[in-house]
Amino acid sequence: MNKVALITGGSRGIGLGIAQRLAEAGFRLAINGTRPAADVADTIASLKKNAPDVIYCQGNIAIADDRDTIMAAVKSAYGKLNVLVNNAGVAPLVRKDVLETTEESFDRVLSINLKGPYFLCQSAANWMIEEKSLDSAFEGCIINVSSVSAIVASVNRGEYCISKAGVAMTTQLFAVRLGEYDIPVFEVQPGIISTDMTAAVKEKYDRLLDNGLTVQNRWGFPDDVGKAVAALAGGSFQFCTGQVIMVDGGLTIRRM
117 inside domain: yes
Residue 97 lies in a domain: yes
256 falls within a domain = no
52-77 burial, b if ≥16 CB within 10 A, otherwise e?
A: eebbbbbbbbbeeebbeebbebbeee
Provide the residue range defining the domain that includes 12.
Answer: 4-246
In the chain, the number of structural domains is: 1
Is 160 part of the annotated catalytic residue set?
Answer: yes
Q: How many angstroms separate the CA atoms of 137 and 238, rounded?
A: 13
Residue 192 has pLDDT above 80, yes or no: yes
What value does the mean pLDDT take over residues 242-250?
98
Output the domain CATH number for residue 22. Answer: 3.40.50.720
When pLDDT is averaged across residues 92-121 and rounded to a whole number, the result is 98
Choosing from 56, 78, 118, 160, the catalytic residue is: 160
| Nearest alpha carbon to residue 129 among 78, 182, 76 | 182
pTM above 0.95, yes or no: yes
Percentage of residues in the chain with pLDDT exceeding 70?
Answer: 100
> Average pLDDT, whole number, for the chain?
97
- Domain membership of residue 255 (yes or no) is no
Q: Does residue 131 form part of some domain? A: yes
Structural domain contains residue 224: yes
Q: Is residue 206 part of a domain?
A: yes
